[in-house]
Copies of this chain bind each other. A is one copy, B any other.
């Protein structure tokens, strides 16, 4: 296999050659949906201490003006720092999108560099959308390629995200296929992000997104300037998979390029918690509705889950922070049982409430073979409840709310974006009206300017 004909080289050539005209209209519309959903998340992160620390760093180390917009402060700076801060803000409220098969959150690492670079070079809305699709298609395939063994230790959004950010940036900079492969090489050799922070509820997730977005963006700019990278950074003998995966499958890098649009497989988050809790939460909601249960009726809840959920969520028993609560299956199911929804407000106001704590301690997770086998292609939710009066009942959902077959409508997406912006105190309702209208019309924008008024 020559270096020109490797899976990584074919993926790079696809990203470099992707044209707006060749992307099906439903995929473009879904990309607009994903863009609005991302803006909401990036605005919601405004008040988070960890995000503010990264913005303060960007302010002190980056230029005080520039051509790219930090959404939450509306400050202009260089694309490197705008991408860094917007990415840091994107993931903190855990409401951004997720691609199930790759267990990868594309928006948080694709839109920040895509918007920053599009603004900086004055790209059209069409170029912006094509670049975003390039980022999604690349990042999702790299995540799938790295596999489940990778995800056990590494935060795929951080690692695959660095490649995704490079692809989106490289597409906007009109890199050719060879340059794009060099950008992948530089991105892959900077790919990093470990799950260890979950144990301490540390701030690393925000840093992971910031790092992926800015390092990936840098990789593409460097490639444009002739800087070279490893041509087989993904699949080579000393590449990313060799170092960080034991079940990598290079065929997944190129599967269905140009015919399968992984972008449109991306799910929106409905609950404000780690995605691993959503199938169980939806199944519990269904069960309580079908059996007309009240929270006090419940003696015990068993969430039947895949191994990845146990790996990621298992360590959090009694959450110490709101963020940790979003990784506590017990807390999420308790909020859902009590309030019918596990949104940002529910977490902030109730995650340590006595009634929630009592319900939380009734929840256990159990590995389920059917759920585990279907994962990560399908995220099946199964719960079993024992009632105070001794009955046992089950429920299942085959697609949690927000998944492609059970997606959010544009009015639902608008409502979610408005709630997120209000949560962050980052835009007025009138400003959101304008932002939403601009988003639905992005494909006709001759030039990507500021996304919020100065």
Instruction: Decide: B199 and A188 in contact? CB cutoff 8 A.
Output: no
A21, B50: Cα distance in complex, Å: 36
Contact yes or no, A203 B225, CB < 8 A: no
Q: Is the CB of A230 within 8 A of B61?
A: no
B199–A186 CB distance below 8 A? no
Stretch at the interface among A93-101, A238-246, A341-349, A351-359: A238-246
Interface stretch among A78-86, A163-171, A403-411?
A78-86
Q: How far, in whole Å, are A49 and B227 apart by their CA atoms in the complex?
A: 8
Contact A189 B196 (CB under 8 A): yes
**Quick one: given A194-B240, A229-B197, A243-B194, are A202 and B222 in contact (CB under 8 Å)?**
no
Does A236 reach chain B (CB closer than 8 Å)?
A: yes
Whether A63 is near chain B, meaning CB under 8 Å from some CB there, is yes
Cβ–Cβ contact A230 & B200, under 8 A: yes
Q: Which of A190-212 contact B (CB under 8 A)?
A: 190-200, 202-204, 207-208, 211
The A289-335 residues at the B interface (CB cut-off 8 A) are: none
Verify A196–B236 contact, CB threshold 8 A: yes
Task: Decide if B190 touches A192 in the complex (CB within 8 Å).
Answer: yes
**What is the minimal beta-carbon distance from A30 to any residue of chain B, in angstroms?**
31
Q: Tell me if A278 counts as interface (CB < 8 A to partner B).
A: no
Quickly give the copy total for this chain. Answer: 2
Q: Tell me, rounded to whole Å, the shortest Cβ–Cβ distance linking A105 to chain B.
A: 16
Find chain B residues with CB under 8 A from A379 CB.
none
CB neighbours of A57 from chain B (8 A) = 218, 221-222, 225
Instruction: Using A189-B193, A190-B211, A193-B189 as known contacts, say yes or no to A204 and B229 having CB atoms under 8 A apart.
Output: yes
Contact check, B196 vs A53: say whether CB atoms are below 8 A apart: no
Is A418 part of the contact surface with B, judged by Cβ < 8 Å?
A: no
In the bound complex, how far is the Cα of B63 from the Cα of A60, in angstroms? 9
A227 & B207 in contact (Cβ 8 Å cutoff):
yes
Contacting pair A79 B61 (CB below 8 A) = yes
- A215 interface residue, CB < 8 Å from B? yes
Contacts of A191 in B (CB 8 A): 192
Which residues in B have their C-beta under 8 angstroms from that of A200?
3, 185, 228-231
- If over half of A's interface residues share one DSSP class (helix, strand or loop), that class is named, otherwise mixed; here it is helix
Which of B189, B225, B240 is A207 in contact with, Cβ under 8 Å? B189
Q: Specify which of A153, A197, A229 lies most central, judged by the most chain B CB atoms within 10 Å of its CB.
A: A197
Task: Point out the residues of chain B lying under 8 angstroms from A250, CB to CB.
Answer: none
Q: Return A77 CB to nearest CB of chain B, in Å.
A: 9
Is the CB–CB distance between A227 and B189 below 8 Å? Answer: no
A238 to B57 alpha-carbon distance, docked (Å): 27
Contact A53 B222 (CB under 8 A): yes
Whether B199 contacts A194 by the Cβ 8 Å rule is no
**A373 CB to nearest chain B CB (Å):** 24
Is A402 close to B, CB under 8 A? no
Contacts of A189 in B (CB 8 A): 158, 192-194, 196-197, 204, 207-208
A233 within 8 A of B: yes
Check if A232 sits within 8 Å of B185, measured CB to CB.
Answer: no
Which listed residue (B49, B154, B182, B215) contacts A226, Cβ 8 A? Answer: B49
Q: For residue A202, which residue of chain B has the nearest CB?
A: B228
7 A–B contacts from the bound complex (CB under 8 Å): A50-B227, A61-B62, A63-B63, A182-B202, A196-B230, A202-B228, A207-B227
